Amino acid sequence: MKIAVSTDNNSMDANISSKFTKSPFFAIIDEKTLECKFVPNEGGQGARSSAGMKAVRQLNEEGVSLILTGNMKPNLYTTFRQVGIQVYMNVTGTLADIIKELK
């Protein structure tokens, strides 16, 4: 399973972003290997009106099954659920904390 974490930067010490669509990066973690890659949030660039849908497309194409984030608008949450991606909100801490929990 692949897990996407919305982060404030592209380092292991990155904080979990409090606002999903405004996070500059997504850390994509392979749950089995714990390998992590950072991808820029395509929805974080350009028009805000389409930011959520760009993120849905991007993370769906990455094969993500679960998203960990601080907060997300209800309609975006519903859209992710409709495409089969689970979302956990109110996540705090750092990316390193998440990876430590996955071990």
pLDDT in tens, the chain (103 residues): 999 999 999 999 999 999 998 899 999 999 999 999 999 998 776 556 678 888 999 999 999 999 999 999 999 999 999 999 999 999 999 999 999 998 8
For residue 30, give the H/E element and its range: strand 25-30
pLDDT digits (tens, 9 = 90+) for 6-35: 999 999 999 999 999 889 999 999 999 999
With beta carbons less than 8 A apart as the criterion, state whether 28 and 3 touch. Answer: yes
Beta strand pairing status for 25-30 and 2-7?
Answer: antiparallel
Q: Domain tally for the chain?
A: 1
Give the pLDDT of residue 27. 98
Closest CA to 40 of 65, 59, 18: 59
State the CATH number of the domain containing residue 9. 3.30.420.130
Our measurement of the distance from residue 34's CA atom to the centroid of its chain's CA atoms, rounded to an integer in Å, reads: 15
Give the pLDDT of residue 47. 52
Give the pLDDT of residue 53. 87
Closest CA to 60 of 45, 40, 79: 79
Give the pLDDT of residue 45. 61
Q: Which amino acid is at 63?
A: G
In terms of residue numbers, what domain contains 6?
Answer: 2-102
DSSP E strand stretches across 18-90: 25-30, 36-40, 64-68, 86-88
Record the pTM: 0.92
Give the pLDDT of residue 52. 85
